[in-house]
């Protein structure tokens, strides 16, 4: 097979920014509850923080590498796109969302807006709660520019005159402690029937001069610096990965600076001074019209009493017909597999499976992968209890799950303390597979039960992310899961599982092979040749070219890609048979589903189609630098259910869907009056 017509792939970083533009568009929708619109603004800020900490930082490194294809012009182009997006974000915040909140009598009061009694209350709050924790640092040779941690909030001030020692300390830095709330709700008796809030920055700004007795504050600004936060450890050179990462967590906060945020009123001399201190070019300066960290406005959402301005609560359904609540899950799984579709269905059956395993004296061993499970987790508590009860517990803890490293290190230490076998996977590869395996003695035999998932073992995010999980006692699948755990714990040679695909070994090649089958059937004239892939990101060049070959052969290709997609669809004669959609709704789309349809084929397929669920996105790092699993859904009823729930509604979404153009820009499909996949699924499961 030859590669299709050469084409320039879309830029990955700009594709990430385009995804965040789609998220920001949610904040502009009149059919989205008002506080949820504010939450989408906060989500964009959180996403952009990680973008600068990781992706943009990597891009800067690549641009310095003489053999890298990334150029300084690429960096400038992405930087301009980021500036444009952030300016648009603050425009939506200031000109759309905040005025509407004011109409609902929910207000943020600046110093100029506060009346006498309100100012008096703020002054007392400052004296009592804030001032004792502030330590201003005047800069001079004995007090150099302080260490400024990643994303920590500071003030810079230019002062008049000289200090008590006669020194010309004109510049001072004030760190704002993270322990202080960023949003404070004012007492009802001072709010005139409104819900009134003040921002911590406004409180400090109003009383900044009190920190410098006898001197005037001539100019000031909030500022925040974003740093390269990827933890780098040489896994080949260290004896204990956990200890190395524990040490690295303390230095992560002081990596190389990549972005400086100041308020738009910051005097040029102060912003230039800060750029010089952080070694940043002018392009790295972001002047914003509002708080420099909109993420913390989540506190306002949480403090506001206005249920009508939030999404209506949704309680995930319990799969009662497949798993009667008061019957043994082991007993039900012996009758057949159970598919769970989160968050429309409850994650509780997974917790119940583990709970039952811990309490069952016939369960001998439990094995689980741990990627993002959270700082508090009933699942982890159950694993610890299982080990305490003498069961064999094996936990594959991924210590390098970005920004969850500390929580995972803590869980690893707690598990080891009770005698669980804790392994950290394979050096150089992140363990991203989501597997839970239970081994139970039944008569004279051992039977395995497993849970395989596209998402994390985190009950909290299982209510917010769409994912698919399979509870199974299938002999082949559970044996494959056991083989994966053995592979992660030992140094044995790879042996292909019976049904599962395992990255970095055979998943990528099998996906290319499946696309090749579709291509061949399309070339043979089979008009129903079809590919539908639902993933979070598509950036692997070889898979992109395999998709293009299938499409150019005549196969219809639909891609549902939530985030970054580097394949430019709709190019005449190249990718005009490919449609790329993205769905951005109430829940974060997270499930990975790969469907291939070809004619009856001598490979032995019964009906010329295959459907896989997977933990992996179609990115090179997932296929070659991570431990990932994919597994086929062979039961015809379950396979059809996945198609009907996880693919078809998204292909027909006319409310939350966007279509990607060949230039990398997205256009919304339909509008607020359309039919959304997520809303349709919520209704289906409620019924």
Which residues are designated catalytic?
Answer: 432
- 47 labeled part of a ligand binding site: yes
User: How many angstroms from the chain centroid is the CA of residue 641?
Assistant: 26
Instruction: Give, to the nearest 10 degrees, the angle between helix 34-50 and helix 72-92.
Output: 160
d(CA 243, CA 149): 22
For helices 507-523 and 541-552, angle between their N-to-C axes, nearest 10 degrees? 10
Annotated binding residue at 243?
Answer: no
Question: Is residue 172 within 8 Å of 270, Cβ to Cβ?
Answer: no
Dist. CA 37–CA 41, nearest whole Å: 7
Q: Give the three-state DSSP class for 683.
A: helix
CA distance 2 to 5: 9
Does residue 372 have a known ligand-binding role? yes
CA angle centred on 507, ends 506 and 512, rounded to 5°: 100
* DSSP strands (E only) in 119-187: 136-138, 153-159, 171-175, 183-185
135 contacts 148 by C-beta, under 8 angstroms: no
Q: How far apart are CA 435 and CA 469, in angstroms?
A: 10
Instruction: Give the residue from 467, 463, 465 showing the smallest Cα distance to 451.
Output: 467
Q: Is 83 assigned to a binding site?
A: no
Sign of torsion over alpha carbons 243, 47, 272, 280? positive
First-to-last alpha carbon distance for the chain, in angstroms, is 49
Is 408 within any annotated ligand binding site? Answer: no
In order, the DSSP letters of 500-520 are -EEETTTHHHHHHHHHHHHHH
DSSP H helical ranges for 133-237: 200-206
How far is it between the farthest Cα atoms of the chain?
A: 90
Query: Could you count the other beta carbons within 10 Å of the beta carbon of residue 93?
Result: 24
Ligand-binding annotation for 402, yes or no, is yes
Cis peptide preceding 337, ω within 30 of 0 = no
User: Which structure tokens are listed for 273?
Assistant: 């001074």
Question: Treating both helix axes as pointing N-terminal to C-terminal, what angle do 12-26 and 72-92 enclose, rounded to 10 degrees?
Answer: 0
CB 122 within 8 A of CB 206: yes
CA 396 to chain centroid: 21
169 close to 138: Cβ distance less than 8 angstroms: yes
- The two structure tokens encoding residue 451: 């849970």
> How many other CB atoms are found less than 10 A from the CB of residue 542?
16
The reply to whether omega before 504 is within 30° of 0 (cis) is yes
DSSP per-residue letters across 539-551: --HHHHHHHHHHH
Bridge partners (DSSP) listed for residue 626: 430
Which residues define the annotated binding site for Mg(2+)?
A: 372, 402
Which residues define the annotated binding site for ATP?
A: 47, 465, 562, 590
Which residues define the annotated binding site?
A: 47, 372, 402, 465, 562, 590
């Amino acid at each position: 097979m030859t590669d299709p017509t050469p084409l320039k792939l879309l830029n990955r970083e700009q594709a990430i920014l385009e995804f965040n533009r789609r998220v920001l568009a949610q904040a502009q929708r009149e059919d989205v509850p008002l506080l949820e619109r504010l939450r989408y603004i906060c989500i964009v800020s959180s996403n952009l923080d990680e973008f600068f900490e990781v992706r943009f930082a990597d891009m800067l490194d690549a641009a310095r590498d003489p053999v890298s294809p990334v150029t300084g012009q690429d960096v400038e182009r992405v930087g301009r796109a980021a500036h444009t997006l952030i300016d648009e974000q603050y425009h939506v915040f200031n000109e759309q969302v905040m005025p509407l909140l004011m109409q609902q009598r929910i207000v943020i009061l600046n110093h100029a807006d506060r009346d006498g009694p309100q100012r008096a209350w703020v002054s007392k709050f400052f004296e009592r709660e804030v001032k004792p924790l502030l330590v201003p640092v005047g800069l001079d040779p004995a007090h150099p520019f302080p260490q400024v941690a990643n994303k920590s909030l500071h003030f810079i001030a230019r002062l008049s005159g000289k200090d008590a020692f006669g020194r010309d300390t004109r510049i001072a830095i004030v760190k704002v402690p993270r322990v202080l709330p960023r949003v404070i709700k004012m007492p009802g008796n001072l709010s005139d029937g409104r819900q009134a809030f003040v921002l911590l920055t406004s409180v400090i700004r109003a009383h900044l001069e009190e920190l410098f007795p006898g001197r005037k504050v001539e100019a000031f600004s909030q500022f925040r610096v974003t740093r390269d936060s990827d933890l780098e450890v040489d896994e080949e050179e260290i004896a204990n990965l956990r200890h190395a990462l524990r040490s690295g967590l303390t230095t992560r906060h002081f990596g190389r600076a990549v972005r400086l945020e100041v308020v738009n009123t910051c005097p040029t001399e102060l912003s230039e001074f800060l750029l010089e201190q952080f070694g940043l070019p002018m392009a790295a300066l972001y002047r914003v019209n509002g708080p420099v960290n909109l993420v913390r406005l989540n506190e306002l959402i949480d403090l506001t009493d206005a249920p009508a301005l939030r999404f209506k609560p949704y309680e995930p359904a319990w799969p009662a017909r497949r798993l009667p609540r008061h019957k043994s899950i082991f007993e039900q799984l012996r009758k057949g597999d159970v598919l769970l579709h989160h968050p429309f269905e409850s994650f509780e059956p997974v917790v119940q499976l583990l709970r039952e395993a811990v309490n069952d004296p016939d369960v001998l061993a439990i094995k689980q992968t741990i990627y993002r499970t959270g700082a508090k987790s009933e699942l982890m508590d159950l694993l610890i209890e299982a080990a305490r009860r003498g069961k064999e517990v094996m936990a594959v803890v991924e210590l390098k799950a970005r920004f969850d490293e500390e929580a995972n290190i803590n869980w690893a230490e707690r598990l080891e303390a009770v005698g669980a076998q804790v392994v950290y996977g394979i050096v150089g590869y992140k363990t991203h597979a989501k597997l839970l395996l239970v081994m139970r003695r039944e008569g004279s035999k051992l039977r395995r039960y497993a849970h395989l998932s596209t998402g994390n073992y985190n009950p909290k995010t299982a209510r917010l992310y769409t994912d698919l999980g399979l509870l199974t006692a299938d002999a082949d699948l559970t044996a494959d899961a056991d083989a994966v755990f053995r592979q992660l714990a030992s140094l044995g040679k790879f042996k292909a599982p019976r049904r599962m695909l395992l990255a970095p070994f055979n998943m990528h090649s099998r996906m290319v092979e499946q696309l090749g089958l579709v291509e061949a059937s399309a070339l043979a004239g089979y008009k129903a040749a079809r590919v539908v892939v639902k993933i979070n990101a598509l950036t692997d060049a070889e898979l992109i070219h395999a998709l293009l070959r299938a499409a150019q052969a005549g196969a219809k290709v639909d891609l549902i890609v939530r985030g970054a997609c580097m394949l430019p669809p709709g190019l005449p004669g190249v990718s005009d048979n490919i449609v790329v959609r993205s769905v951005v709704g109430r829940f974060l789309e997270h499930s990975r589903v790969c469907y291939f349809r070809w004619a009856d084929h001598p490979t032995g397929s019964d009906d010329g189609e295959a459907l896989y669920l997977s933990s992996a996105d179609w990115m090179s790092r997932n296929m070659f630098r991570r431990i990932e699993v994919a597994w086929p859904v062979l039961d015809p009823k379950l396979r059809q259910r996945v198609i009907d729930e996880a693919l078809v509604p998204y292909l027909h979404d006319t409310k939350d869907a966007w279509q990607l153009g060949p230039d990398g820009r997205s256009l919304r499909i339909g509008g607020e009056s359309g039919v959304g996949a997520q809303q349709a699924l919520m209704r289906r499961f409620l019924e």
